[in-house]
């Protein structure tokens, strides 16, 4: 991990989140982002990177109360008393040309806290990866992450995306250098990347970890640096720089939470399923996840990803379970249209040969997920970035006990 200078939060008051007062959006980035085409030419497109070791391999679970600091226990009790938790998710946020598109999303996210009763205010944002383009450089963290999220008054957790860990030949910094400093910190500190904003670093156990909050457990995996596919294991290749530690972790976490009564999400940057085009699915990664679910005799209530720069929702049936596979990779960086076969507009739903149902999509707008969970069900809502709209464009609700979908 880099040894760049960090500082304690203001007045040593513990973790800090959004600015005290809302401020207006900037017109441009502070640091101009030049074209990276020459650097991309130096990338080995088949070379994966080793997984950075967790801070403590025996302690890979982080709780919301810990993240919130001194008032964490009281805040968790407030959520429990309200009978539900609300939180945000989204991925692929950092545009390279300027803040306009990401600010559309983060302004709408911040607005979700305004004039909302306590039980409806989001508790945190969980980032699905690709926080900073193009190589996760620390010098772009202020423009692409800290400044856009400056008005977001809650914790932000994250798994890395491929761009957060991507390196090129001659890169002076190791993979995930800035991500580790800003999200896998020993204590909440103001990093150089924050540029004077008060948000402190996140104290995750590692680049993969489990996050416990009332009514919900999120199991986050790191799918490495290839453009496609995502990789979470050695895939039985003895020469691979990627170990099988995440398989061991995933199995342990599924066994830990399967009788908790909580909703369980598996979150990974590369989607197991994606409708064709620039980013497809990752079948071997899906097989790795399936194997651990089978071994634990427990399946998550949903699988959430980013990477494909649009919104997509699939339904997969495993036995008697309905499992939504949701892609939310349109939270600021370069929305990409779906590629279809001979039609200008794809009509969903589409039932695929393997029984998978492609339920819905949005490939023209920026947006994010708003998740609402209580003791009996979880609802995953997709919202576009229209500031004048608080209703969702698409949603899926799953009964926690039966793992079956409920009509919204």
Does residue 197 fall inside a structural domain?
yes
Does residue 325 fall inside a structural domain?
yes
Does residue 1 fall inside a structural domain?
no
Q: How far apart are CA 27 and CA 193, in angstroms?
A: 19
Does residue 3 fall inside a structural domain?
no
- Adjacency order of strands within the sheet including 85-90: 156-158, 125-127, 85-90, 367-373, 377-384, 394-399, 405-406
Q: How far apart are CA 392 and CA 378, in angstroms?
A: 15
Does residue 2 fall inside a structural domain?
no
Does residue 5 fall inside a structural domain?
no
Does residue 4 fall inside a structural domain?
no
Instruction: Write out the chain's pLDDT in tens, 408 residues.
Output: 444 566 666 655 789 999 988 889 999 999 999 999 999 999 999 999 999 999 999 999 999 999 999 999 999 999 999 999 999 999 999 999 999 999 999 999 999 999 888 889 999 999 999 999 999 999 999 999 999 999 999 999 999 999 999 999 999 999 999 999 999 999 999 999 999 999 999 999 999 999 999 999 999 999 999 999 999 999 999 999 999 999 999 999 999 999 999 999 999 999 999 997 678 899 999 999 999 999 999 999 999 999 999 999 999 999 999 999 999 999 999 999 887 655 667 889 999 988 899 999 999 999 999 999 999 999 999 999 999 999 999 999 999 999 999 987
Domain boundaries, position 309: 10-406
| CATH number of the domain enclosing 293 | 3.60.21.10
Instruction: Tell the residue number behind the tokens 């692929």, with chain if given.
Output: 92
DSSP state of 79: H
Q: How far apart are CA 249 and CA 396, in angstroms?
A: 28
Instruction: Tell the residue number behind the tokens 């939504």, with chain if given.
Output: 324
C-alpha dist (Å) from residue 328 to 66, 90, 335: 27, 5, 11
pLDDT attached to residue 197: 96
Does residue 370 fall inside a structural domain?
yes
pLDDT attached to residue 6: 66
For the entire predicted model, the pTM comes to 0.96
| Domains of the chain: total | 1
């Amino acid at each position: 991990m880099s040894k760049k200078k960090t500082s304690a939060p203001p007045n040593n008051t513990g973790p800090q989140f959004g600015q005290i007062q809302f401020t207006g959006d900037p017109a441009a980035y502070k640091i101009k982002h030049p074209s990276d085409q020459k650097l991309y030419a130096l990338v080995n497109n088949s070379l994966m990177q080793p997984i950075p070791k967790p801070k403590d391999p025996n302690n890979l679970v982080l709780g919301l109360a810990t993240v919130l600091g001194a008032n964490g226990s009281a805040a968790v009790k407030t959520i429990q008393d309200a009978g539900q938790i609300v939180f945000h998710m989204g991925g692929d946020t950092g545009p390279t040309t300027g803040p306009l598109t990401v600010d559309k999303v983060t302004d709408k996210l911040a607005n979700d806290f305004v004039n909302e009763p306590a039980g409806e205010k989001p508790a945190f944002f969980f980032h699905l990866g690709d926080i900073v383009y193009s190589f996760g450089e620390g010098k772009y963290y202020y423009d692409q992450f800290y400044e856009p999220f400056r008005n977001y008054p809650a914790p932000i957790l994250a798994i890395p995306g491929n761009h957060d860990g991507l390196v090129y030949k001659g890169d002076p910094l190791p993979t995930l250098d800035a991500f580790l400093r800003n999200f896998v910190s020993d204590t909440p500190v103001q990093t150089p990347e924050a540029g004077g904003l008060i948000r402190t670093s996140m104290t995750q156990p590692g680049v993969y970890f489990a996050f416990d909050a009332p009514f919900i457990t999120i199991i986050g995996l790191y799918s490495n640096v290839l453009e496609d596919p995502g990789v979470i294991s050695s895939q039985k290749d003895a020469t691979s720089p990627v170990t099988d530690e995440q398989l061991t972790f995933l199995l342990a976490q599924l066994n830990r939470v399967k009788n908790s009564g909580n909703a369980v999400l598996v979150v990974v940057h590369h989607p197991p399923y994606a409708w064709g085009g620039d980013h497809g699915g990752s079948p071997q990664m899906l097989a790795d996840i399936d194997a651990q679910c089978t071994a634990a005799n427990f399946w998550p209530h949903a699988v959430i990803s980013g990477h494909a720069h649009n919104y997509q929702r699939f339904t997969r049936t495993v036995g008697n379970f309905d499992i939504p596979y949701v892609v939310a990779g349109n939270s600021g960086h370069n929305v990409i249209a779906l590629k279809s076969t001979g039609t200008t507009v794809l009509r969903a739903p589409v039932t695929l040969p393997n029984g998978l149902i492609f339920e819905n999509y949005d490939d023209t707008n920026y947006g994010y997920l708003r998740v609402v969970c209580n003791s009996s069900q979880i609802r995953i809502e997709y919202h576009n970035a229209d500031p004048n709209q608080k209703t969702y464009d698409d949603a899926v609700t799953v009964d926690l006990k039966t793992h079956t979908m409920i009509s919204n």
